[in-house]
Amino acid sequence: MKGQSDSKISQLNTPYARKVSNEKTYNRHVHKRRCQRIIAVFLVIFLIFGIQIFQSKRTLADINGNIRQAQSQLTKQKQKNRQLERQIKLLHNPEYIQQVIRAKYNYSKKGETIYNLN
């Protein structure tokens, strides 16, 4: 029934009806263009922020890598420092110094004979 009632209705072709129809078409066109521009602006803003976030993540990853590398170097230097401190303590011991001098430089006391078995 709806199909039959639609065929009985016709649009008036008066100047006012054409003006209203043209205004509706123009308004739709303007609205569509505004929506496209707004969407384009939001997409550009989203793209800019996305790029900034990506660059920030890369920079953060680089900095974290540098921190890990610096921490490993710090650990190695602390270990070396502990070894050097142990060596300093040993060097304050006269018996140890005498032992090092005898082993490294073949130092001997009066009346001693050194035999090298290598």
Instruction: Report pLDDT digits (tens) over 59-87.
Output: 999 999 999 999 999 999 999 999 999 99
Is the pLDDT at 31 greater than 70? The verdict is yes
Alpha-carbon span 111 to 98, nearest angstrom: 16
Residue 91 identity: L
Reported as a pLDDT band with limits 50, 70 and 90, residue 5 is: low
What is the pTM assigned to this prediction? 0.53
User: What percentage of the chain has pLDDT greater than the value 90?
Assistant: 61
Report the pLDDT value the prediction gives residue 76, as an integer from 0 to 100.
97
Distance CA 98, CA 106 (A): 11
Q: Which residue blocks in 92-116 are alpha helix, DSSP H?
A: 94-105
Mean pLDDT for the chain overall: 89
| Euclidean distance between CA atoms 50 and 115, whole angstroms | 77
